[in-house]
Amino acid sequence: MGLYADAKNIQKKDPAARSVLEVMLLYPGWHALVLHRPAHWLYQHKCFFLARFISQLARHLTGIEIHPGAKIGKCLFIDHGMGIVFGETTEIGDNCTIYHQVTLGGTGKDVGKRHPTLGNNVLIGAGARVLGPVRIGDNARIGAGSIVLHNLPANCTAVGNPAEIVRINDRHIIPADDLDQQDIPDLVDARLAALEARMSRMEAAAQGTVPPTLPPEEEEKEKK
């Protein structure tokens, strides 16, 4: 029943999926979940070689590498999936969506719990990297190509390298839509624009044309 629910969830979320049967027959993301079940069971029962054999078979068949030790919740939607890697101590909550070329990996420095933990309803955009034993809160959104190295709170949107929070609890930190992948804010451009505006004010103040005032939000930052 669990695997059928996973397939039904994929069919619901992917507008290209015309039926649950199509998902079961043709979707590599679902095939990877099917093969992960016995691999994870074997891993839990210390049959490490067989567990790894199945996970590597799944990798060759689907392009998705899930370590048999990874813990995956209900209704994971892996869209396309090619190039995805989940490390051994990765934990994924329920109803998450993960696009292709995403890595939930380690930093090479940690031992024990060394891979990410995702809450429920997390979405990770294509090509994003979440590295180390970080925790991603429920309902978090991570933009395509972002690199996450620190914990993210619930109900936030983060983008960039390294990832920065641009929205939290439906409040914009900087102008951004709810993870419109075609309109992700350019944090570098925003910083440069703010720096240019600041320099213009300082030059004008030095020439005596205007006082060196700052916008209210920047004044608050200066006070802190």
Domain ranges of the chain: 2-185, 189-223
Give, for 34, the enclosing helix (H) or strand (E): helix 28-44
What token pair was written down for 141? 């959104």
pLDDT at 184 over 50: yes
Nearest CA-CA partner of 68 in 77, 86, 55, 82: 55
Q: How confident is the model at residue 78 (pLDDT cuts 50, 70, 90)?
A: very high
Nearest CA-CA partner of 67 in 32, 24, 112, 30: 32
Residues with Cβ within 8 Å of residue 173, at least 6 apart in sequence: 164, 165, 166, 167
Q: Tell me: the pLDDT tens digits for 83-137?
A: 999 999 999 999 999 999 999 999 888 789 999 999 999 999 999 999 999 999 9
pLDDT at 159 over 80: yes
- Domain with residues 2-185, CATH architecture: 3 Solenoid (2.160)
Residue 179: per-residue pLDDT: 47
What token pair was written down for 60? 């060759």
